[in-house]
Amino acid sequence: MSSSSCEPQGVGEGKADSRGMLRLMGLPHVSRFPRATVTRHPDCFQLLFHGDEDSRRVDVDLKYLDDADDLEATELRLLARLQELGYEVERRSPSEEGAGS
């Protein structure tokens, strides 16, 4: 997984449909990675899934989203959808990302 670029990974690509729903595919199983952190970058959403021993990162390029004009609403729908799937979610700003590293 690349740590500096926001290129699509082939999994976890989100797609907004006409009703504003997000289709999420290829996410790690919630039982192994129960926590998810979403960070919005200028060209992608970065999803970091945390487990007891490991983490997985999935980047969703904004070009895969139909509603890229309202990124905050899309981010909130993404957080809500992850929570519906059973993840404990956290919203992080890009400025917070480097603070703990």
Task: Give per-residue pLDDT as tens, 40-55.
Answer: 999 999 999 999 999 9
Sequence-distant (6+) residues with CB within 8 A of 35 are: 49, 50, 51, 87, 88, 89, 90
Torsion of CA 54, 50, 56, 10, to 10 degrees: 150
| Domain count within the chain | 1
Is 30 part of any domain?
A: yes
The span from the CA of 96 to the CA of 20, in Å, is 28
Q: Are the CB atoms for 8 and 61 separated by under 8 Å?
A: yes
Q: What is the pLDDT of residues 72-91, one digit of tens each?
A: 998 999 999 999 999 999 99
Q: Is the pLDDT of residue 1 over 60?
A: no
**pLDDT-derived band at 5, boundaries 50, 70, 90:** very low
Inside any domain, residue 70: yes
Whether 20 is covered by a domain: the verdict is yes
pTM: 0.72
C-alpha 47/C-alpha 82 separation (Å) is: 10
Per-residue model confidence (pLDDT) at position 93:
87
Domain range enclosing 80: 15-93
pLDDT band, very low/low/confident/very high, at 16 (cuts 50, 70, 90): very low
Domain contains 19: yes
CA 34 to chain CA centroid, Å, is 14
- pLDDT bin (cut points 50, 70, 90) of residue 97 is low
